[in-house]
Amino acid sequence: MRPNFFHHLHPPTIPARQARLRYTLAAGGLAVFLALVLLVTGLLEMFYYIPTPDQAAVSIQTLTFLVPYGGLVRNLHYWSAQFLVIVTLVHLLRVIFTGAYAPPRRFNYLLGMGLLVLAILLDFTGYVLRWDEGIRWALVTGTNLVRSIPLVGNPLYTILVGGTQPGPATLIRFYGWHILGLTLVAGILLVWHLFRVRRDGGIAVPPPALREDQVRITRYELLRREGVAMLLAATGLLLLSTFVAAPLAAPITASASTSEMARAPWFFLWVQQMLKLGNPFFWGGIVPLAVLVLISFIPYFFPQPAKGELGHWFPKGNRLAQAVALFILIAIIALTILALLPAA
């Protein structure tokens, strides 16, 4: 077969264990696929979405109920965004639980952390664009968190919200960040991340002398597997988007429910739960930031796996990092469940 453009994305052959599903979980590849779906469906949504407070929710209703296949496009965009956050978290856990961040991959791990933060920020800004009753928490509690930062809180709040309280300027700012600012940076980081995977010698496996087997697969085989994974993911996503609609509530009105009754988007429920403990700057700012910094610097300050241990789950050399990641994961899941329980 003559190689085409897609074949050139991979080296001519790679060690077979770099492409094992039970090692990579295909999470990185799925994240790339979801990012592409988001880009295409997001561009299509832009033809109908109107970023003004009185038109935003109505324009989404028009798109959903009146535009042919508009509902499907919107559902695909929504579900891809939720799965992108989940799949990226799975990918991060896979990288930590296999110690794949060891040198020379430390820098790429940081690029990955940047992508994770951007995926969450894109999900958050996109969710605000609904400008319906469901987004009150984000709009009121979320933006007020910025105000609680000592010294710089107020000016930062004005920059974020575009005034002294949420209004038309807020929506246009979130729109600008969502469709351009964050998307552009995410696109650049994504290409850089993928380039670094290749530059760092592909996915982490032991060097040839320490490898149990020397079996290699061709790029045609790799591309075939990627194609199958993508088809399966596309089928699942289409089925879900056909039958389960993305949330949309009534447009925001000044008189409607208070912010206390509103719920954070699912990926910030753990933060919402911590806010009940007291000081918003500490629980809503310092603690989440500390978690982020701790995870980001795992490759730099924690013991590394030995070279021969790479390519396997749970290497002995980085047990400390695995324990820390597991602890954070359990704490976040527990806080999320608590936030979902009905208030006593």
Contacts with ligand HEM by CB under 6 A lie at 24, 27-29, 31-32, 35, 88, 91-92, 95, 100-101, 105, 108-109, 112-113, 115-116, 119, 190, 193-194, 197, 203-204
Q: What is the DSSP string of 26-43?
A: THHHHHHHHHHHHHHHHH
Cβ proximity of 96 and 36 under 8 Å = no
Least gap, CB of 115 to ligand HEM (angstroms): 4
Residue among 198 and 276 whose Cβ is closer to ligand HEM: 198
CB of 117 to ligand HEM, least distance (A): 9
Q: Which long-range contacts (CB under 8 A, 24 or more apart) does 242-248 make?
A: 242/72, 242/75, 244/75, 244/79, 245/64, 245/71, 245/75, 246/74, 246/75, 246/77, 246/78, 246/79, 247/78, 247/130, 247/134, 248/57, 248/60, 248/61, 248/64, 248/130, 248/132, 248/134
- Residue among 290, 291, 292, 295 at smallest CA distance from 321: 295
Q: Kindly state the smallest distance separating residue 251's Cβ from ligand HEM, in Å.
A: 32
End-to-end alpha-carbon separation of the chain, Å? 65
Q: Which is nearer to ligand HEM, 34 or 73 (CB)?
A: 34
DSSP 297: T
Least distance in angstroms from the C-beta of 208 to ligand HEM = 16
In the complex, what is the shortest distance from the CB of residue 100 to ligand HEM, in angstroms, rounded to a whole number? Answer: 3
Comparing CB distances to ligand HEM, the nearer of 37 and 116 is 116
Of 63 and 203, the one with the shorter C-beta distance to ligand HEM is: 203
Shortest CB 216 distance to ligand HEM, Å: 17
* Rounded Cα–Cα distance for residues 101 and 95 (Å): 6
Closer Cβ to ligand HEM, 55 or 218, answer by number: 218
60/119 with CB nearer ligand HEM: 119
